[in-house]
Amino acid sequence: SAAEKGGHEYFMLKEIEEQPEALANTLRGHFVNGRIVLDEQRMSDQDLRDVDKVFVIACGSSYHAGLVAKYAIEHWCRLPVEVELASEFRYRDPVLDRDTLVVAISQSGETADTLEAVRHAREQKARVLAICNTNGAQIPRESDAVLYTHAGPEIGVASTKAFLAQIVANYLVGLALAQARGTKYPDEVAREFAELEAMPDAVSRVLTTVERVRALGRELADSKAVLFLGRHVGFPVALEGALKLKELAYMHAEGFAAGELKHGPIALIEEGLPVVVVMPSPKGRAVLHSKLVSNISEIQARGARTIVIAEEGDETVRPFADHLIEIPAVPTLLQPLVSTVPLQVLAAEIARSRGYDVDKPRNLAKSVTVE
Ligand code: AGP
């Protein structure tokens, strides 16, 4: 009923709007007496100090959350991080030992490939930390430690609030590692945590643009395909935006690293093709920002319809943006928490306009327990 959906036409929109709360709940209780604490930590500080390599394993949207984690953990902890699709990892011979930390991300905690990847890692004595949204699910039960996301139950098959909560949980893991390894001073960890605590409000601010993004979604409903471009942490956001559109609107959508444009994807650009570009902050990543501005101008010159997600007050992109969606200024590494939100809304609204069931897309199950 509409009441269950919080007055919305579909659960997904309700869940998109619950994201500030999901983030706040996931952060709660993890900073105590000036230190990051993870839940049910069956791993000691010494175990965290001994970590010399990190593997992140997951499927689908959870894999995209893992890609975001790589940027943060490498930067904060100076540790090598590999992000792997669980379905590939489990059939390879990844090089792991007891000093490898494997972070397994799964909303449901029941995804067959991720579970098998966890078993594969533990057989080689790696320590596994699960990031999971479902209490007592199989993946956390078979892991050495678990960090629960507190997004609450997610009804929509397409992940929204669980995805943002997974990103936040990954940041907590990164900060816990940095704290244990001493690659960040305690006051720096405290400052990073304070930045995270400001994110629920930043997401609430993005939510004020929902109706405008929905209107844009209705305009794009007849498109044949949509491309998504991003760089740095904006690259996994582009992948996630494309996945949402495939899942919900059954539309051909691809996410690309913008730096790859000239290595192939630019050949796809044609008159009227919608291209969504996730811009980095002009202050945080000035070099990447200017490279993306030239990318947008190139694709616009070739007739594409540019949809630009950019920081509030970023005037340089205006001339090249056929549609501008503004997001609040936040630290670079945290930008996916705000830039993903309009892409979720866009996909849902395109799907709705095309007459599809946003909460139950065809051929998909909420948790993939068979391979
Ligand atoms: C997300 O929109 C998808 N439904 C799907 O990609 C999902 O993220 C994937 O199946 C992994 O699920 P999990 O997080 O429950 O393991």
Per-residue confidence in pLDDT tens, the chain, 371 aa: 667 777 788 788 999 999 999 999 999 999 999 999 986 667 788 899 999 999 999 999 999 999 999 999 999 999 999 999 999 999 999 999 999 999 999 999 999 999 999 999 999 999 999 999 999 999 999 999 999 999 999 888 789 999 999 999 999 999 999 999 999 999 999 999 999 999 999 999 999 999 999 999 999 999 999 999 999 999 999 999 999 999 999 999 999 999 999 998 889 999 999 999 999 999 888 899 999 999 999 999 999 999 999 999 999 999 999 999 999 999 999 999 999 999 999 999 999 999 998 888 778 877 778 77
The CA-based angle 206-209-210, given to 5 degrees, is 100
For residue 222, what are its two tokens? 């007849």
Q: Find, among 57, 238, 77, the residue nearest to 132 by Cα.
A: 57
For 197, phi then psi, to 5°, come to -65, -20
Active-site residue among 53, 246, 360, 366? 366
Contacts with 142 (C-beta within 8 Å, 6 or more apart), sequence order: 115, 118, 119, 122, 128
Residue type, 42: R
Q: Which of 16, 62, 118 to mutate to test the pocket of ligand 1 (most atoms within 8 A of CB)?
A: 62
pLDDT of residue 76: 96
H helices, E strands: number in the chain: 14, 12
Distance of alpha carbon 118 from alpha carbon 57, whole angstroms = 8
For residue 73, what are its two tokens? 């953990």
Distance of alpha carbon 133 from alpha carbon 65, whole angstroms = 13
The question of whether 14 is a catalytic residue gets the answer no
Residues in the chain: 371
Cβ–ligand 1 distance for 59 under 6 Å, the answer yes
Cβ–ligand 1 distance for 247 under 6 Å, the answer yes
Q: Find, among 160, 187, 175, 101, the residue nearest to 336 by Cα.
A: 160
Is residue 285 within 8 Å of residue 332, measured between CB atoms? yes
Distance of alpha carbon 368 from alpha carbon 345, whole angstroms = 24
pLDDT of residue 49: 94
Cβ–ligand 1 distance for 62 under 6 Å, the answer yes
Distance of alpha carbon 313 from alpha carbon 329, whole angstroms = 9
